[in-house]
Amino acid sequence: MSSTRVTRRDVLRGVSAGALAAFSSFAFAATRYATATTRSGKVHGSVEQGVHVFKGIPYGADTSSRRFRPALAPVAWKRARDALEYGPACPQPGLAEPMSEDCLVLNVWTPALRDGAKRAVMVYFHGGEFSSGSGSSAIYDGTRLCHRGDVVVVTVNHRLNAFGHLYLGRLRGAEYEASGNVGLLDLVQALTWVRDHAAEFGGNPDCVMVFGQSGGGAKIATLMAMPAARGLFHRAATMSGQQITAAGPRSSTLRASAYLDALKIPAADLARIDTIAIADLVAATRAPDATMIGRALYFGPVLDQVSLPRHPFYPDAPPQSAQIPMIIGNTRDETRAFLGNEPGIQQLRWEELPQRLLPHLHVDISPEYVVAEYRRLYPQYTATEVFFAATTAGRSWRGAVIEAELRAAQGSPVFAYQLNYRSPLDGGRYGAMHTMDIPLVFDNIAQAGSQTGASAEAQRTADQMSDAFIAFARTGSPNHSTLPQWRPYELDRRSTMVFDAQSQLVDDPRGAERKLFASVPYIQRGTY
């Protein structure tokens, strides 16, 4: 940020006529300011490229005094509050953004305020499992969606990792029975804020869509089974993010005990965790997991029978959300994003492939059998291509298929997609990797962080995907004029929209791979 930038606060406090004369003719012609009224007080946002933008609006109170418990409403403010900068993210390792326990903030992009237009509201939940990330990335900027679809866009920060999912119910009693899910209850609180303020920001409280990628999709799948979220959203779209099962009280308590051991907090002094330094709380999240070898502690939703009374998608799709239309999507080469730089992975030999596959399949199946089946199905594939195809099918795609199948069996409206558009980075070695659909859906292919490139093919793919999500937000159907007819996913055909520069509807793409991995049980990692 430039040190010479003149903010609205500078103007309100009074700056010299000379400073304004030197700067205002340019700065204030480029940016105007807008005021919205929330239940906690007025907020001042900006008008940029014709879009009203409000950043860092509190939807909940500072959680530092209520660690591991449901948040309270934000403390009201008397004077108008600037909403010109993103708010802090939840504390986490390695994030180069401001962080704080006072992280219950959201951001709004809207074409207009209080005009009665009743626009669809698109609320995005960021990825990073349930442990990292924020809603402040440039790639989530809602400006282009607002222009494309005349919609309201919202992104959200909330509690993550131990701050949002440390289950203390069996260690500290009834007051902490929901502690394993307070990060999700934050999202419920954010959606309640959206419902209550939609009209003020030009939106329709009865036409709210939630969408999210990776962990954001998993959060949505879990909210679909949480009674507190009932009625707060009316469409749902998950992008490379599924949640079939939640962790139970056994594994969650084992993890909590391992976390407390890392903090050197004995069972007789558990209250000390309420005042321990944030840096120590963050450092302890790197402790080894209590049930999974070779990774740091997993934090995620907990089957506590209180805030989450059932698994998200086990044994069936959640009945409370049966009438909510849903999009379930994945990318063709998910695991190239996080396994693509493994040592030697681009030069794999067939004889070493089974051993390299074994720890990454995430289902317990013979890797030799998997390799033999892939070589039969795709004789043209190299060992490296088999590695990425098999790890994607067994690890990332499997949960999406299960959710789509259960929704279809329930008779609920569900649309499936697969992204085939390949990243041009590094000669195309990353393919249609995890995260590729984010800039395409937001129509932000030129933003920092996009891996799509800005070619005409990338823009055509973005046009089709973003228009589909906008149409879905408005009507519950993703169909629009520049896309082939997108039929719902039904078990007899398994129709799937394959997005690319030339998109097409395909029945049961990769059906043989689907059947291969359906031969063994699936339990979501981290939930046992």
3-class secondary structure, 257: helix
One CATH from 3.30.450.40, 3.40.50.1970, 3.40.50.1820, 2.40.50.320 for 31-239: 3.40.50.1820
Burial call 52-61: b when 16+ CB within 10 Å, e when fewer? bbbbbbbbbb
What fold is seen in the domain 327-510? Rossmann fold (3.40.50)
Tens of pLDDT, residue by residue over 366-381, are: 999 999 999 999 999 9
Please give the average per-residue pLDDT across 162-169, as a whole number: 98
Please tell me the distance from the alpha carbon of residue 431 to that of residue 51, in angstroms, as a whole number. Answer: 34
Question: Is 214 assigned a catalytic role?
Answer: yes
Which of the residues 136, 137, 214, 423 is marked catalytic?
A: 214
Residue recorded with tokens 């099962």: 245
pLDDT bracket for residue 24 (50, 70, 90): very low
Which of the residues 126, 165, 434, 480 is marked catalytic?
A: 434
Range name among 26-40, 60-74, 307-321 with the lowest pLDDT average: 26-40
Q: Identify the pLDDT of residue 11.
A: 30
By percentage, how much of the chain surpasses pLDDT 70?
A: 94
Q: Do domains 31-239 and 327-510 have the same CATH topology?
A: yes
Residue 10 in this model has a pLDDT that exceeds 50: no
Per-residue CA distances from 173 to 177, 263, 269 (Å):
7, 20, 14
By percentage, how much of the chain surpasses pLDDT 90?
A: 88
3-class secondary structure, 410: helix
Q: Identify the pLDDT of residue 523.
A: 84
In 39-84 the beta strands, taken as DSSP E runs, fall at 41-48, 51-58, 81-82
Q: Identify the pLDDT of residue 474.
A: 98
Residue 20 in this model has a pLDDT that exceeds 80: no
Please tell me the distance from the alpha carbon of residue 290 to that of residue 262, in angstroms, as a whole number. Answer: 12
Is the peptide bond preceding residue 315 cis, with omega within 30 degrees of 0? yes
Which of the residues 101, 129, 177, 334 is marked catalytic?
A: 334
Please tell me the distance from the alpha carbon of residue 422 to that of residue 498, in angstroms, as a whole number. Answer: 12
CB atoms within 10 A of CB 506: 18
Please tell me the distance from the alpha carbon of residue 451 to that of residue 70, in angstroms, as a whole number. Answer: 37
Tens of pLDDT, residue by residue over 94-129, are: 999 999 999 999 999 999 999 999 999 999 999 999
Cβ–Cβ < 8 Å for 150, 471: no
Please tell me the distance from the alpha carbon of residue 381 to that of residue 357, in angstroms, as a whole number. Answer: 15
Helix axes 383-391, 367-377, angle to 10 degrees: 110
Tens of pLDDT, residue by residue over 124-133, are: 999 999 999 9
Q: Half-sphere exposure (CA, 13 Å, Cβ side) for 79?
A: 4
pLDDT bracket for residue 525 (50, 70, 90): confident
Q: Identify the pLDDT of residue 31.
A: 59
Domain ranges of the chain: 31-239, 327-510
Residue recorded with tokens 């800005």: 454
pLDDT bracket for residue 454 (50, 70, 90): very high
Tens of pLDDT, residue by residue over 299-319, are: 999 999 999 999 999 999 999
What is the pTM for the complete model shown?
0.93
